[in-house]
Amino acid sequence: MEGSGWRLLGRRLLQVLPVLGLLLVVVFALQALIPGDPARAIAGPRATEAQVAHVRADLGLDETVTTRFASYVGRLAGGDLGESNRSDVPVTQIIGQRVGVTLSLLLGGLVASVLLAGPAALVLALRPRSRAAWVIERVLSVAINLPSFWVGLMLATVVGLRAGLLPVGGLEPGLGGHLRSYLLPCLTIGISLSPFLARSAATSLREVVASDYVVTARSVGASGTFLFRRHLLRNALPPTVTLLGFQAGALLFGTVIVEQTFALPGLGAEMITAAAQRDFPVVQGLTLVFGLGIIVFNLLADVAVSVLDPRTRTA
Amino acid sequence: MSQAVAGVHASSRSGRRMALPRFHQVAAVVLVLVAVVAIAAPWLAPYSPSAQSLDQIRPPSGAHALGTDALGRDILSRMMYALRTDLLLIVPAAGLPMVVGTVVGTLAGYAGGVLDAAVRWIADVFQGLPLYIFLVALVAAMGRGPASLLVAFTALGWIVYARLVRTEVRRIKTAGFVEAAYLLGRSSPQVLVQHVLPHALKQTATYFVLDLGMALQGVAVLSFFNLGVKSGTPELGAMVADAQIFIRSSTWMVALPGAAIVVLGVCIAAVGDHLSSRTRGESDGR
């Protein structure tokens, strides 16, 4: 990345600040939605009166909202996300133990999506009249409506339980076991994300194929692979990466769903368990982490676009 | 224009297919049928959705067309009632954002200035929030139930409508027939309701249909996480979740309610896409 790339990153970081601020406000405001006594809810059902009083003092419920918000942000800045009210384990420690699984799923899910969407988009854009394109169109319009928890369960049944080919719950030990355990979850994420990607990529590919410079390059006898690498990929990729940024929320929630479906010990499964048990500090901390994740993902998408397409750097 | 040419090509190549009804028409019929079944569930269902029996986990048979679940409840009856539960949840979950967004968008577009800028800024910032994760967090804070669902969908769903209606209102505000209405002595609210809003509503209807699909997925996945409807309530996602532990021996128990979600989702999307391509075509033609 050249100097202009860094400058762009700096500018994007500035644009992110209001989003970050709102995220903090929303996560903080979740407390206000707790019916009854928030101190009791946060301390949890096992807490003694003294502990509830302690939490109330910590939250500063008698102070003004702005003071409380300031002290909340202050604690966050110090790396303090509170403690689980089930186990008294610091939320940061829970995140540290589980973030690896979620990141692996994100990466694997992205790879699976690209592997599924890429060929589909190429067929749709380059052979739009073919029988294969017709079939792909129909498959995509169904796939876009598949609930991914159901896809995961069905994959688990057919590939995992019936055929006994792959593990369907938890992480198997060892690197090979880990890889095998991640295969079906990542495929599930891929199936739910790839329809969006394939459609967007096909649209941008079609535009490029019809553009004057490709027609010209063809007419002067440029080879297929040269055309593909030099013109098609370069120009069709940036809009698709931008779309991927928009889909960051769906991608992250996809990891939540498959962690729950395949019993993987990641951040999402923890959030669902915590929400069901009203473990509010954990839910609050994880909401913040997921929100930050989306902001970071969008930044990365922006940077990737600027690397792929130099024209966007000055814009 | 190019689409019309492509259409001629496709139809001449497969003339036999032309006689069949179009996909969105079939989808619309399916949706009407679903609504009828949901409304008439108490009369149509062969059993009570909560009646338990000793015939537990039976595959489809003459007595129970879609089999029975772990408590011996009739799955067909439960699915009929589940459609009722789901429709009663997703219609408000998609409708409330539309109402809020339309009101906000109309005010912003009509008033302009500071209000307009503020709404645009809030919309920009809110859009970065992840809907479903926000949904889970809200349920954790407020407790499970329809209220959390409505709040979360409205908090994030109004943006699309507000943007759309705002743009439309600003565009139409200066149109000839609106200025004519003013000259005839109509007041601003009258002009807004009689002339400006009907134009904007045509497009919001499209989004409403597509949002029904989003809400359906949201309701189902929350129930699957055991964060949605109260346990025991017949709901499609909850039925999938309840049957999950029997998936190896009795796959149909998971497959059927899941397939119902898929069919419903595909039909909603087909109708929504058709509406959106029609409204887009109209505004292009103008």
Domain map of chain B by residue range?
A: 39-47+63-285
Question: Could you give the 3-state DSSP secondary structure of residue B68?
Answer: strand
pLDDT above 90 covers a percentage of chain A that reads: 23
Closest chain A C-alpha to B146 CA, distance in angstroms:
15
What was the pLDDT predicted at A5? 64
Kindly determine whether residue A275 and residue B132, on different chains, have CB atoms separated by under 8 Å.
no
Residue of A276, A257, A264 lying closest to A147 (CA atoms): A257
| pLDDT(B84) > 60 | yes
Predicted complex ipTM: 0.81
Query: Mutate which of B12, B125, B133 to disrupt the A interface (most A C-beta within 10 Å)?
Result: B133
B141 touches A: beta carbon within 8 Å:
yes
pTM: 0.82
Nearest residue of B to residue A169, measured between CA atoms: B245
Kindly determine whether residue B133 and residue A290, on different chains, have CB atoms separated by under 8 Å.
yes
What was the pLDDT predicted at B11? 42
- For the stretch B235-254, pLDDT in tens is 999 998 888 888 877 888 88
| Facing A272 at nearest CB: one of B136, B240, B254 | B136
**Average pLDDT of the residues in A273-299:** 89
- For the stretch A271-284, pLDDT in tens is 999 988 888 889 99
What was the pLDDT predicted at A214? 78
On average, the pLDDT of chain A sits at: 84
On average, the pLDDT of chain B sits at: 82
Chain A residues with CB-CB distance to B258 below 8 A: 147, 150, 153-154
**Tokens 């439309």 belong to which residue?**
B168
DSSP conformational letter for A188: H
| Facing B142 at nearest CB: one of A35, A142, A294 | A35
**Average pLDDT of the residues in B92-110:** 90
CATH superfamily of B39-47+63-285: MetI-like (1.10.3720.10)
- Residue B180 identity: A
Q: How confident is the model at residue A187 (pLDDT cuts 50, 70, 90)?
A: very high
Chain A residues with CB-CB distance to B142 below 8 A: 33-35
Q: How confident is the model at residue B12 (pLDDT cuts 50, 70, 90)?
A: very low
Kindly determine whether residue B130 and residue A294, on different chains, have CB atoms separated by under 8 Å.
yes
| pLDDT(A12) > 80 | no
What was the pLDDT predicted at B5? 41
∠ at Cα A84 (A79, A86), nearest 5°?
170
Partnered with residue B68 across adjacent β-strands are B74
What was the pLDDT predicted at B14? 46
What was the pLDDT predicted at B17? 47
| pLDDT(A1) > 70 | no
Nearest residue of A to residue B13, measured between CA atoms: A129
Q: How confident is the model at residue A314 (pLDDT cuts 50, 70, 90)?
A: low
The answer to whether B110 touches B171, Cβ cutoff 8 Å, is no
Separate counts of helices (H) and strands (E) for chain B? 13, 0
| pLDDT(A179) > 80 | yes
Of A13-22, A193-202, B252-261, B277-286, the least confident: B277-286
* Distance (Å, whole) CA B150 – CA B162: 17
B269 touches A: beta carbon within 8 Å:
yes
The answer to whether A184 touches A172, Cβ cutoff 8 Å, is no
* Distance (Å, whole) CA B250 – CA B244: 9
The answer to whether A148 touches A254, Cβ cutoff 8 Å, is yes
Question: Could you give the 3-state DSSP secondary structure of residue B74?
Answer: strand
What was the pLDDT predicted at B230? 81
- For the stretch B166-195, pLDDT in tens is 888 887 777 777 778 778 877 777 777 777
- For the stretch A228-254, pLDDT in tens is 777 777 777 888 888 888 788 888 989
Query: Mutate which of A14, A23, A272, A297 to disrupt the B interface (most B C-beta within 10 Å)?
Result: A272
Helix A280-308 × helix A91-126 angle, to 10°: 40
| Facing A147 at nearest CB: one of B129, B217, B269 | B217
Of A75-79, A221-225, B215-219, B227-231, the least confident: A221-225
What was the pLDDT predicted at A286? 93
A228 touches B: beta carbon within 8 Å:
no
pLDDT above 70 covers a percentage of chain A that reads: 97
Q: Which ranges constitute the DSSP H helices of chain A?
A: 3-29, 38-43, 49-59, 65-77, 91-126, 131-143, 148-155, 174-210, 212-219, 224-227, 234-246, 248-261, 267-276, 280-308, 311-314
